[in-house]
């Protein structure tokens, strides 16, 4: 990893290490419904414990609007963390992430012990990247480790502020995410394909513009394909369509042509009057979308032509579902293509990387999560990376890079 310090660069023994993790886990009726985020930070915690550091976990949780909100306390997460850690060294909890109670709790830690501090967003200074708030946090530790690539697109105190105040680096999870994404995008094995879906072109403009320069094949599905279809003169009925972006879609298609990127758009579609009325859905040729209906998924012809094209590819990145997958049967295209990609990945024909909240949810739901080479839980940060931008969190770590020898000496 260039210009970013990693765990191996530090001597942790006896040091207080502030570890920014992402404990913003999905909770329903007070129960954690998915512990994936917790499981993935365990290796970094275990490494630091083994190195006899004092481990201080910091995270946000939900959107408490900058003040104490008991319903958004991190306290219940302690038990979930302990489920994945050895019983003999239970995680402690501090009811505040600032002030005397936090500093006292931290001072009482013995080498190798772990504490979780209360929700950073109980203070407005976290999101505002306030310097005094950051100083208070920094005063609790000797070293800062960021283990949340998924939050690195946020310019918050615990992400971009702390590296300016403490020797800083990334944890094992962050490193793994960066290496996987970097490897696939910096020098991908070719042919390199991208699948982009989701609802709107407007949220993914930079992404599309960047991808047509880099990829050999770009599959456009989901609601955003409608704007491209319109740009080709296809009538899309009542489908979601951003009329003000039709010209932009034309520009992107022209750019693709220039860069020899082949764009695949729907040839047929599943249409219905509304999402909630799937029994009345039908397959139509893309030139025969009824005036009163909406395109809600790709049709079977399009799906098989996508799968055929992907057989020849060596690298695939995927963001955004191909249809309104939350509503059956509009999940079919996304699932069929996902099954094909996972099959090719398992046969070692290609490397597959998927990222983005909804597409990852779709893959999980269809049980295909494990068979992708890599699934990035980092929604916004993954997108920024695909867009060719450096996240503010990564930039701050790079700006504060310290030579390994100097770090060990300090
Ligand atoms: P991701 O989170 O993977 O980046 P997005 O948030 O961009 O994906 O888009 C996901 C949303 O797009 C889903 O809610 C899905 O229902 C919607 N969507 C996909 N295809 C269509 C379509 N044809 N019409 C309307 N909405 C669609
Ligand atoms: Mg989404």
Instruction: Convert the pLDDT of each residue in 253-288 to its tens digit.
Output: 999 999 999 999 999 999 999 888 777 899 999 999
Q: Closest by alpha carbon to 153, among 320, 383, 388, 377? A: 383
Q: Is the pLDDT of residue 379 over 70?
A: no
Please tell me the number of the ligand nearest to residue 380's CA.
1
Is the C-beta atom of 205 inside 6 A of ligand 1?
A: no
- Helix crossing, 246-258 with 205-214: angle to 10°? 20
> How far is ligand 1, taken at its centre, from the CA of residue 185, in Å?
24
Catalytic residues: 37, 200, 357, 380
Ligand 1 atom closest to Cα of residue 204: 7
Query: CB within 5 A of ion ligand 2: which residues?
Result: 357-358
Query: Mean pLDDT, to the nearest integer, of 192-213?
Result: 90
Residue 219 host element (H or E): strand 217-220
Is the C-beta atom of 91 inside 6 A of ligand 1?
A: no
Q: To test ligand 1's pocket by mutation, which of 358, 362, 365, 382 has the most ligand atoms within 8 angstroms of CB?
A: 358
Question: What order do you get walking across the sheet with 92-94 strand by strand?
Answer: 92-94, 114-117, 54-58, 16-20, 143-146, 168-170
What is the model's pLDDT at position 288? 97
Asked whether the beta carbons of 297 and 270 are under 8 A apart, the reply is yes
The mean-pLDDT minimum among 6-15, 122-131, 150-159, 371-380 falls in: 371-380
Q: Is the pLDDT of residue 308 over 80?
A: yes
What is the model's pLDDT at position 302? 98
Q: What average pLDDT does the structure give for the chain? A: 92
Q: Is the pLDDT of residue 1 over 70?
A: no
The mean-pLDDT minimum among 34-48, 53-67, 384-398 falls in: 384-398
Is the C-beta atom of 241 inside 6 A of ligand 1?
A: no
Question: What is the pLDDT confidence band of residue 295, given thresholds at 50, 70 and 90?
Answer: very high
Gap between the Cα atoms of 266 and 301, Å rounded:
9
Question: What is the pLDDT confidence band of residue 12, given thresholds at 50, 70 and 90?
Answer: very high
What is the model's pLDDT at position 11? 96
Question: What are the tokens at 220?
Answer: 């456009």
Query: Mean pLDDT, to the nearest integer, of 78-90?
Result: 95
Question: What are the tokens at 140?
Answer: 């609790």
Is the C-beta atom of 188 inside 6 A of ligand 1?
A: no
Q: Which residue has the higher pLDDT, 341 or 280?
A: 341
> How far is ligand 2, taken at its centre, from the CA of residue 87, in Å?
37
Give the 3-state secondary structure percentages of the chain, helix then strand then coil, rounded to 5.
Answer: 45, 15, 40
User: pLDDT, tens digit, for every residue of 310-319?
Assistant: 999 999 999 9
Is the C-beta atom of 359 inside 6 A of ligand 1?
A: yes
Q: What is the pTM of this model?
A: 0.73
Question: What is the pLDDT confidence band of residue 370, given thresholds at 50, 70 and 90?
Answer: confident
What is the model's pLDDT at position 409? 76
Q: Closest by alpha carbon to 163, among 407, 408, 394? A: 394
Question: What is the pLDDT confidence band of residue 110, given thresholds at 50, 70 and 90?
Answer: very high
Hey, whose CA ends up nearest to atom 8 of ligand 1? 320
């Amino acid at each position: 990893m260039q210009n970013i310090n990693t765990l191996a660069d530090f001597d942790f023994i006896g040091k207080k290490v502030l570890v920014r993790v992402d404990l913003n886990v999905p909770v329903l009726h007070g129960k954690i419904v998915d512990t994936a985020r917790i499981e993935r930070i365990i290796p970094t915690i275990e490494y630091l414990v083994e190195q006899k550091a004092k481990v201080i976990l910091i995270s946000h949780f939900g959107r408490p609007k900058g003040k104490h909100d008991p319903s958004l306390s991190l306290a219940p997460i302690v038990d979930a963390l302990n489920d994945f850690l050895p019983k003999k060294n239970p995680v402690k909890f501090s009811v505040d992430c600032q002030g005397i109670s936090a500093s006292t709790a931290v001072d009482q830690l013995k080498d190798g012990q772990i504490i979780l501090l209360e929700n950073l967003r109980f203070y407005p200074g976290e999101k505002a990247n306030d310097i005094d708030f950051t100083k208070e946090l920094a005063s609790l530790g000797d070293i800062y480790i960021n283990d949340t690539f998924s939050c690195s697109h946020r310019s918050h105190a615990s992400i971009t502020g702390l590296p300016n105040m403490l020797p800083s680096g990334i944890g094992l999870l962050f490193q793994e995410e960066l290496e996987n994404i970097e490897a696939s995008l910096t020098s991908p094995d070719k042919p390199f394909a991208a699948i982009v879906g989701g609802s709107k072109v407007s949220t993914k403009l930079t992404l599309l513009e960047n991808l047509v320069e880099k990829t050999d094949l770009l599959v456009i599905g989901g609601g955003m394909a409608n704007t491209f279809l319109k740009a080709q003169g296809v009538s899309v009925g009542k489908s979601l369509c951003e009329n003000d972006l039709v010209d932009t879609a034309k520009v992107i298609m022209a750019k693709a042509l220039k860069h020899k990127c082949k764009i695949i758009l729907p040839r047929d579609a599943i249409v219905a009057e509304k999402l909630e009325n799937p029994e009345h859905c039908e397959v139509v040729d893309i030139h025969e979308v009824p005036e009163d209906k909406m395109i809600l998924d790709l049709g079977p012809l399009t799906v098989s032509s996508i799968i055929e094209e992907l057989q020849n590819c060596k690298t695939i990145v995927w963001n955004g579902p191909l249809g309104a997958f939350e509503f059956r049967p509009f999940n079919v295209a996304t699932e069929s293509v996902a099954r094909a990609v996972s099959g090719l990945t398992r046969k070692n024909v290609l490397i597959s990387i998927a990222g983005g909240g909804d597409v990852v949810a779709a893959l999980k739901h269809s049980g295909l999560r494990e068979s992708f080479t890599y699934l990035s839980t980092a929604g916004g940060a993954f997108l920024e990376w695909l867009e060719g931008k450096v996240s503010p969190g990564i930039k701050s770590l790079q700006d504060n890079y310290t030579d390994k020898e100097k770090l060990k000496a300090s």
